Chain A
Amino acid sequence: AQSVTQPDIHITVSEGASLELRCNYSYGATPYLFWYVQSPGQGLQLLLKYFSGDTLVQGIKGFEAEFKRSQSSFNLRKPSVHWSDAAEYFCAVGVRGNTGKLIFGQGTTLQVKP
């Protein structure tokens, strides 16, 4: 069965430091992969997606992610974190089979220190 694991529940980084959020997936074929961000009390906003092609994907707000098939990973990165990046981040994998369903990881909460 498909699954998504985000190993880090909480991460704290200093403002201006680099960031990497980990995501591992379990899937039998080439996955459709997504990263979302959620501010407190809000819905989820799409940061970026990977369907095929170039394994380094650029997203909004200066985020990027790299698909590594050999490691079943899709880690999210940002070279310099801003205080406004403090939020919860979710990785998701799309389920094939014409349902449109996504399976979400448990989320990583990012805290940014001044």
Chain B
Amino acid sequence: EIVMTQSPATLSVSPGERATLSCRASQSVSSNLAWYQQKPGQAPRLLIYGASTRATGIPARFRGSGSGTQFTLTISSLQSEDFVVYYCQQYNNWPLSFGGGTKVEIK
């Protein structure tokens, strides 16, 4: 099973600044990597698939990059609604697996 490790667990950033979230796979997942955002009390929302393709309606300030075992979600100019939890998911191998999440909090 591929283990997805997200770091840091909590990221403190000031509004308007950039956030950089990391996701590492225990073995290569090619570009078969998705990112999700989850607000408190809500279901996750797809942000990025294919490691770098934004989903429908996702603002351009969300950018995904990476391939193989190392991936990054960059959120430029953080807005108030961005201070929530983010998960990565690999879909290159079965079983599908999610990272443990990164919580972005206001500094």
Decide if A and B are genuine partners: no
CB within 8 Å of B: which residues of A? none
